Amino acid sequence: MKILTPFIDFILKEWLVIASAAALLAISLYTKRAPHYSASELEVLFILFALFVAINGFVQSNLILKTAQSIEKGSLLALKLLLATFFLSMIVTNDIALIIMVPLTLALNINRKDILVILEAISANAGSALTPIGNPQNLFIYWFYHTPPSQFIKTITPFSLTFFILLIVISFFIKIPKIPVSKEAVIVEKKAFIYSILLIAVLLSVFHLLPLFSASLVIIYAIIFDKKALQIDYALLFTFLFFFGIADNLKVILATNLNRSEHIFILSALASQIMSNVPATLLFAKFTNNWQALLWGSNAGGFGSLFGSLANLIAYKLYINSDQADIKRFTIKFLIIGYIAFAISIVLFNFLAK
Res 163: pLDDT: 97
Q: Is residue 39 in some structural domain?
A: no
Res 255: pLDDT: 61
DSSP state of 278: H
Q: Is residue 290 in some structural domain?
A: yes
Identify the band that residue 168 occupies on the pLDDT scale cut at 50, 70 and 90: very high
Most confident range, picked from 10-14, 30-34, 70-74, 130-134: 130-134
Res 180: pLDDT: 57
Most confident range, picked from 53-67, 118-132, 173-187, 278-292: 118-132
Res 112: pLDDT: 80
Q: Is residue 340 in some structural domain?
A: yes
Number of compact structural domains in the chain: 1
Res 15: pLDDT: 73
Detail the DSSP E strand segments found in the chain.
Answer: none
pLDDT over 90 (residue 176): no
Q: What percent of the chain has pLDDT over 70?
A: 89
| Spatial distance between the Cα atoms of 316 and 46, rounded to a whole number of angstroms | 29
Res 138: pLDDT: 94
| Spatial distance between the Cα atoms of 24 and 104, rounded to a whole number of angstroms | 38
Distant-in-sequence, close-in-space partners of 242: CB < 8 Å, separation ≥ 6:
17, 20, 21, 23, 24
Task: Tell me which residue range forms the domain holding 288.
Answer: 62-188+233-353
Q: Is residue 83 in some structural domain?
A: yes
Res 256: pLDDT: 66
Q: Is residue 20 helix, strand or coil?
A: helix
Res 9: pLDDT: 66
Identify the band that residue 222 occupies on the pLDDT scale cut at 50, 70 and 90: very high
Q: Is residue 257 in some structural domain?
A: yes
Identify the band that residue 181 occupies on the pLDDT scale cut at 50, 70 and 90: low
Q: Give mean pLDDT, residues 28-45.
A: 87
Per-position DSSP letters for 176-211, written without gaps between them: ----PPP--PPPPPTHHHHHHHHHHHHHHHHTTSS-
State the amino acid at position 302 in one-letter form: G
pTM for this model (two decimals): 0.79
Q: What is the dihedral of CA 255, 282, 320, 340, to 10 degrees?
A: -80
Output the CA–CA distances (angstroms, integers) from residue 173 to 75, 79, 176, in the order listed: 13, 10, 9
Mean of the per-residue pLDDT values for the chain? 85
Res 55: pLDDT: 82
Task: Check if the beta carbon of residue 284 is closer than 8 Å to that of residue 271.
Answer: yes
Q: Please report, for the chain, how many H helices and E strands are present, in that order.
A: 17, 0
Q: Is residue 30 in some structural domain?
A: no
pLDDT in tens, 299-325: 999 999 888 888 898 888 888 877 666
Q: Give mean pLDDT, residues 272-295.
A: 88
Q: Is residue 349 in some structural domain?
A: yes
Give burial (CB, 10 Å; 0-12/13-18/19+) of 166.
middle
DSSP state of 227: G
Identify the band that residue 252 occupies on the pLDDT scale cut at 50, 70 and 90: confident
